[in-house]
Amino acid sequence: MTAQAQRTVLTYGTFDLFHPGHVQLLKRARELGTRLLVGLSTDEFNVLKGKKSVMGYEDRKAVLESCRYVDEVFAEEDWDQKVADVTRLGADVFVMGDDWAGKFDFVADHCNVVYLARTPGVSSTEIKQRMRVQRPADMHA
């Protein structure tokens, strides 16, 4: 493949409790290019976002790195690094789930921005809620 045919896709996320929705997002993102780079939110950044992951950064990173659609994983440490990352990594396409629609339109000055539809019926938040509901019953078993 020639350098002209290379197309780098960039996405970001927490990717906690890796599930089929994550797989579909990464697969569809990778289909937009030849290389998929993932900015993975650090534990410290998640705290700033008001999120708490079940899995720590290193474990989430290991899972992402094992996904065949992902070529590289790097730390996402703050909201403001997106444009610098696009430039540094030579990204052609910036991809996020459509729950973020419009929030990253400012990146369109630097590359193509695509918001992909979420996989219906699955999210890390839903999984965590189901775990909380099931936990008390499991304790009495």
Q: DSSP strand E in the chain: where?
A: 8-13, 35-41, 72-76, 93-97, 112-116
Write out the two tokens for 60. 């989430």
Measured between alpha carbons, how far is 110 from 12 in angstroms, rounded to an integer?
Answer: 16
Catalytic residues: 49, 51
Q: Which residues of 16-55 are buried (b: 16+ CB within 10 A; e: fewer)?
A: bbbeebbebbbebbbebbebbbbbbbbeebbeeeeeebeb
Write out the two tokens for 34. 């030849």
